[in-house]
Structure 1
């Protein structure tokens, strides 16, 4: 084989490297997470290794593609417009700011502030990806709106609602959340309902969580035990410290289910 090209997919430094012929046909790929080279034909083994050699490090394996799991098969047959996995944190809000009906200045300021908080939380969630965590953003929950983030990892499934802290003191109670001198909001009650809806859809326990982005101080009522309260500077550390309950195949199966729009909004 001559003229092989190596093309990346996914985020920089992650995902797969695909080895393709000049006409675009894929002959092999290298999964950087598992360090495995999947090759479609042994005839081009040496050429594929030569093309990938600059990208290989540590111990790696090579062989035919593994038999796809049921979760992988469901993902392969998922139509692109039903796939929520490509959603970025705050993508819907970003679209409204860019292409929606212009609002008054104060409304747009609140929207931008919320978008920055969502993106800040998204950066923290990205740090968990290397540890077999998966996240889906802007999950539609009919009757409730959008769930900011659904996080799936070894400790389980978490439904996250992000609230801008605005460099103010935040007080989280059983029923209400107050940031600075703003009027209290029912975020704790909302995230409980969202987590319960997600648990029914996924047939798996889901922990409700509130993320306070950029709060100067967070005070949590001692009676609040069923809602996890997180802050971006320590979000990843806090979640990693929770004891694991799911194995990697369970995480991938739940992620495959969660990324499908029909899981949340079944078609008639």
Structure 2
């Protein structure tokens, strides 16, 4: 059949590939981790295999899908342009670099922010093997974007990433200072962002700051409600935290969080 489209769900090389009809209806998906094609419309079976062939490797199982969970059903009904799962770390910054300010200083700052988000994003994406689900560049209307949203056994974390620029970084209750630059209100911002995420997801969300390559990191002893992470130790710190969510809860929250409409407070 002509017109079948293959659309990714998740970042490149991860997650599922969905096969959709021209009207957007899903007729199959390929689970790359399980190396299995689940066929929803058997009359399109040959066409489905044809369009997926470039993406397949090894021995692939083919058959009807397993009994769908509630999260699966919601994901199948989600419009592709509402799915945040394909976002890469620093997705919005890539666009800003292409079309943003021409000034050398401004572009240098953008590149630093992008490099930090990509470095931290790679560290967080590695957690998927431990049962975590990760989203990047989640919009918060009126506040900008959450750099990374982590959903896993230890709970939900809302993360703002800050480049340390190989300088001393000090995290206080209200402000964060890197080197001799003006203090930044990141601690206050991430608390508000976590509160917004808690309301949107109806589950507790922990605020977190991720510092990338500071020469030294100091956290005020009064900062108890914000997790402070770094690329080399983030996975260890998060996986060592007490388990609060089970796998079905993680999938259900991920399905809600990846839907752009969740963050606008209404179903568009």
* CA distance in structure 2 between the partners assigned to 1:54 and 1:123 by the alignment: 24
Partner of 1:176: 175
How does the TM-score come out when normalised to structure 2? 0.81
Partner of 2:166: 167
Partner of 1:55: 58
* CA distance in structure 2 between the partners assigned to 1:193 and 1:18 by the alignment: 35
Q: Which runs of 5+ in 2 are unaligned?
A: 1-5, 20-25
- Identify which range, 113-122 or 258-267, moves more after superposition: 258-267
Q: How does 1:99-248 map to 2 (within 5 A)?
A: 99-100=99-100, 102-248=101-247
Partner of 1:255: 254
1:86 and 2:89 aligned = no
Once the 2 structures are TM-superposed, how far is the Cα of residue 64 of structure 1 from its aligned partner? 3.6
3-state SS in 2 of match to 1:128: helix
* CA distance in structure 1 between the partners assigned to 2:149 and 2:203 by the alignment: 13
CA-to-aligned-CA distance 1:164-204 (integer Å, 9 cap, x gap):
00001111111111111111111111100000000000000
Once the 2 structures are TM-superposed, how far is the Cα of residue 113 of structure 1 from its aligned partner? 0.6
Change (3 A) 1:206 1:54: closer
* CA distance in structure 2 between the partners assigned to 1:206 and 1:182 by the alignment: 29
Post-superposition, which runs of at least 4 consecutive aligned residues in structure 1 deviate over 2 A?
Answer: 7-19, 26-41, 53-56, 60-64
Partner of 1:22: none
3-state SS in 2 of match to 1:55: coil
> Is the contact made by 1:201 and 1:263 (CA closer than 8 Å) also made in structure 2?
yes
* CA distance in structure 2 between the partners assigned to 1:134 and 1:69 by the alignment: 17
Aligned length: 245
How does the TM-score come out when normalised to structure 1? 0.81
Larger Rg, first or second structure (1 or 2): 1
Change (3 A) 1:195 1:17: closer
> Is the contact made by 2:173 and 2:220 (CA closer than 8 Å) also made in structure 1?
yes
Once the 2 structures are TM-superposed, how far is the Cα of residue 265 of structure 1 from its aligned partner? 1.2
* CA distance in structure 1 between the partners assigned to 2:16 and 2:262 by the alignment: 27
> Is the contact made by 2:38 and 2:63 (CA closer than 8 Å) also made in structure 1?
yes
Partner of 2:69: 69
Once the 2 structures are TM-superposed, how far is the Cα of residue 209 of structure 1 from its aligned partner? 0.3
* CA distance in structure 2 between the partners assigned to 1:27 and 1:165 by the alignment: 46
Once the 2 structures are TM-superposed, how far is the Cα of residue 266 of structure 1 from its aligned partner? 3.5
CA-to-aligned-CA distance 1:32-87 (integer Å, 9 cap, x gap):
5457675677xx9xxx9xx9x9735xxx9986421111111111111111111111
- Identify which range, 140-149 or 162-171, moves more after superposition: 140-149
Once the 2 structures are TM-superposed, how far is the Cα of residue 12 of structure 1 from its aligned partner? 7.4
> Is the contact made by 1:175 and 1:188 (CA closer than 8 Å) also made in structure 2?
yes
> Is the contact made by 1:8 and 1:15 (CA closer than 8 Å) also made in structure 2?
no
